[in-house]
Amino acid sequence: MDVKQQTAKSDFPGQIHETPGGGIVLSKLDDVINWARSNSLWPLTFATSCCGIEYMAVAGAKYDFSRFGFEVARATPRQADVIIIAGTIVNKMAPVLKRLYDQMADPKYVIAMGACAISGGPFFYNTYSVVKGADHVIPVDVYVAGCPPRPEALLHALIKLQEKIKSGLTREQIRKDKE
């Protein structure tokens, strides 16, 4: 396949003008940065309960999130870009989650995976210890419904997050625009 055709067909933001001796790309720097960012998001290996197993299944060969640039799961928040809250957050865990989020370097993104991370899920009623939604603790970009969500649902959420980053609509980008 011709190389020029390949770049023209990809989702790279900008126009390619062909000139003798090579092509010239015209684009906004922000768009290029967002495009680059969105295609290599490193998740934090963070799982508190059942959703963690589906998170592992997404890392497995059948669903394989490395196709979308997520394969480098980091164990330390300092190297991670996106935190997937896979599981219930309880009152004792909430400060830890906040701390993990604070330790991540900007830009950072959050996916709330499963009913527990969205609202407390099946533990919404009658419990004294569950935080009713992880967004009480840290801001969330994408919510995935399910108990636990299917791997396809998590993949969909990851792609949605990429779209959000590419369109320049994440929280920290909006904040930057305001300043």
CB 45, CB 85: distance < 8 Å = no
153 binds other proteins (CB under 8 A): no
Query: Which stretch in 8-16, 22-30, 93-101, 158-166 sits in contact with other proteins by CB under 8 A?
Result: 93-101
72 binds other proteins (CB under 8 A): no
Q: Closer to other proteins at the Cβ: 111 or 165?
A: 111
Segment (H or E) for 54: helix 51-59
75 binds other proteins (CB under 8 A): yes
61 binds other proteins (CB under 8 A): yes
Structure-derived torsion over alpha carbons of residues 143, 51, 99, 68, reported in degrees to the nearest 10: -60
Q: How far is the CB of 103 from other proteins (least distance, A)?
A: 10
Please tell me the distance from the alpha carbon of residue 38 to that of residue 162, in angstroms, as a whole number: 5
Query: Which stretch in 10-18, 28-36, 134-142, 145-153 sits in contact with other proteins by CB under 8 A?
Result: 145-153
Chain mean position to CA 22: 35
Q: Closer to other proteins at the Cβ: 17 or 92?
A: 92
123 binds other proteins (CB under 8 A): yes
CB 170, CB 109: distance < 8 Å = yes
Please tell me the distance from the alpha carbon of residue 148 to that of residue 86, in angstroms, as a whole number: 9
Residue 78, Cβ neighbours under 10 Å: how many?
Answer: 10
Q: How far is the CB of 163 from other proteins (least distance, A)?
A: 26
CB 74, CB 104: distance < 8 Å = no
Positions in the binding site for other proteins (CB under 8 A): 44-50, 52-54, 56-57, 59-62, 75, 77, 87-88, 90, 92-93, 95-96, 99-100, 122-123, 125-130, 147-148, 150
